[in-house]
Amino acid sequence: MAFFKAEDAISGKMAVAYATINGRVEELFYAKAIEATIEKNKVDVPILGKTNVPQRSAGWSGTGTLTVYYVTSMFRQMMRDYVKTGKDTFFDLQITNEQPGSSTGKQTAALIDCNIDSVIAASFDANSDDMLEEEIPFTFGDYDLLDEFNQLT
């Protein structure tokens, strides 16, 4: 009987993330969290003689949220460029999860052709002791796994 070992669990704090924007690579050391989801678009396929309505996949969409400390103007600059010129900026995100001492190895996911949906234009909160942060929703058009976790035995 196999058991999962505690030392094989992956801490999200050990991740690294990079954005490639216009050929420039920026380490997202000020990021707090990222979550990207791929959702299948399914269509109904009614079939005579069946009481259920089967579905089949007919595409997909990628969405995500990047939470960062409010310490960079980079995303606001992208939005300002769109507001002023109509030029939209697409970029790639690369996220690596690796836990030292874990036999799971590492996984590197690439989110390709990312495009931000909204940004905070300006922010302050004089009533809070918390550091300013922002959630940046985005979409992406392609996905790849550059490194995959080892299979645990």
- pLDDT score for 152: 87
Q: What is the pLDDT of residue 16?
A: 96
CB 62 within 8 A of CB 143: yes
- Among 83, 92, 75, which Cα is nearest to 144's? 92
Residuewise pLDDT in 10s, the chain (153 residues): 778 999 999 999 999 999 999 999 999 999 999 999 999 999 999 999 999 999 999 999 999 999 999 999 999 999 999 999 999 999 999 999 999 999 999 999 999 999 999 999 999 999 999 999 999 999 999 999 999 999 988
CATH no., domain 6-147: 2.30.110.40
Per domain, the residue ranges of the chain are 6-147
Spatial contact of 1 and 8, defined as CB atoms under 8 Å apart:
no
